[in-house]
């Protein structure tokens, strides 16, 4: 009996060891497969077929935001279109987009274009002054102002490549510019067709994209990047931050 019991105990021990080893192997294999899937998934998200000849340093891809502020005014030829000032190189594109909207049955209002750093300083200072007058501390007033007004140097309007444009009916209802202007067909037309004229909706609504831009959704703010870039960004749902990063990663 003793030998038989010892034999059974030994057999049980062997089964446990084999089972444990199998379980470990299974877990490691799963882990390896999972890692492989992640790597594969990651490689799938890598951007390919970037537009030929495009570089991250191109004039129409200049990146200005709170992480990349301008320290001085940009130097470019300015032009007036529909009452707003823009970089002269995008004047025709702005006109073409407005004409395209008109042909589709929508009138548009070009609300603003270029703003100098000095002007932005004045706007920021006035809003902060009003906040201080309401009893806020300097720190509170600064924070409250920065929540609604870009700090001088970090506004994309300094580039002359950004425009605020809205369907006339949408602007009539929301003269202070609100995200839900996109309820109007005129605003949807601008959003959907901007790339045809070299523009992208600069501040989309997806949370991950808001994190990239640092700006909440703005259905009226469009940025000129050129037709090839705009179509690529639209097709891949990219912010300017993500697109410039991809170009740099590609050595462009």
Model confidence pLDDT, tens digit, residues 197-214: 999 999 999 999 999 999
Sheet (strand 108-112) strand order: 108-112, 162-167, 218-224, 199-203
Asked whether the beta carbons of 51 and 228 are under 8 A apart, the reply is yes
**CB proximity list for 117: less than 8 A, separation 6 or greater:** 70, 72, 73, 152, 153, 158
Q: Which long-range contacts (CB under 8 A, 24 or more apart) does 213-217 make?
A: 213/65, 213/239, 213/240, 213/241, 214/65, 214/66, 214/67, 215/65, 216/179, 217/179
- And the tokens for 192? 């959907």
Closest C-alpha to 183, from 194, 196, 175, 174: 174
pLDDT tens-digit readout, 66-122: 999 999 999 999 999 999 999 999 999 999 999 999 999 999 999 999 999 999 999
**pLDDT for 146:** 83
Quote the radius of gyration of the chain (alpha carbons, Å): 28
Give percent above pLDDT 90 in the chain. 76
Judged against a pLDDT cut of 70, whether residue 11 lies above it is answered with no
Give me the residue label for tokens 């004047």.
Answer: 91
Q: State the Cα–Cα distance between residues 201 and 195, nearest whole angstrom.
A: 9
Average pLDDT of span 32-58:
62
Average pLDDT of span 30-59:
62
Judged against a pLDDT cut of 50, whether residue 12 lies above it is answered with no
The residue ranking higher by pLDDT, 23 or 106, is 106
Categorize the per-residue pLDDT at 150 as very low, low, confident or very high, splitting at 50, 70 and 90: confident
Other CB atoms closer than 10 Å to residue 65's CB: what's the count?
18
pTM of the shown model: 0.79
**pLDDT for 41:** 29
SS3 state at 113? coil
């Amino acid at each position: 009996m003793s030998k038989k019991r010892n034999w059974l105990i030994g057999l049980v021990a062997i089964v446990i060891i084999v089972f444990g080893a199998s379980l470990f192997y299974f877990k490691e294999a799963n882990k390896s497969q999972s890692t492989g899937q992640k790597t594969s998934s990651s490689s799938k998200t890598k951007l390919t077929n970037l537009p030929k000849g495009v570089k991250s340093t191109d004039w129409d891809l200049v990146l200005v935001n709170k992480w990349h502020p301008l320290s001085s005014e940009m130097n470019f030829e300015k032009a007036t279109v529909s009452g707003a000032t823009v970089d002269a190189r995008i004047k025709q594109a702005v006109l073409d987009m407005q004409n395209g909207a008109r042909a589709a049955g929508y009138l548009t209002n070009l609300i603003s274009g270029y703003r100098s750093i000095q002007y932005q300083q004045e706007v920021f200072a006035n809003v902060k002054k009003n906040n201080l007058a309401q009893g806020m501390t300097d720190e509170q007033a600064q924070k409250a102002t920065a929540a609604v007004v870009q700090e001088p140097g970090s506004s994309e309007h300094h580039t002359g490549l950004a425009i605020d444009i809205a369907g006339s009916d949408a602007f009539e209802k929301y003269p202070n510019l609100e995200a839900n202007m996109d309820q109007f067909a005129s605003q949807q037309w601008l959003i959907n067709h901007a790339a045809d004229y070299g523009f992208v909706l600069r501040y989309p609504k997806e949370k991950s994209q808001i994190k990239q831009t640092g700006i909440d959704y703005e259905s009226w703010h469009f940025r000129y990047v050129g037709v090839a870039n705009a179509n690529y960004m639209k097709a891949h749902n990219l912010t300017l931050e993500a697109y410039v990063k991809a170009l740099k990663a590609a050595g462009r």
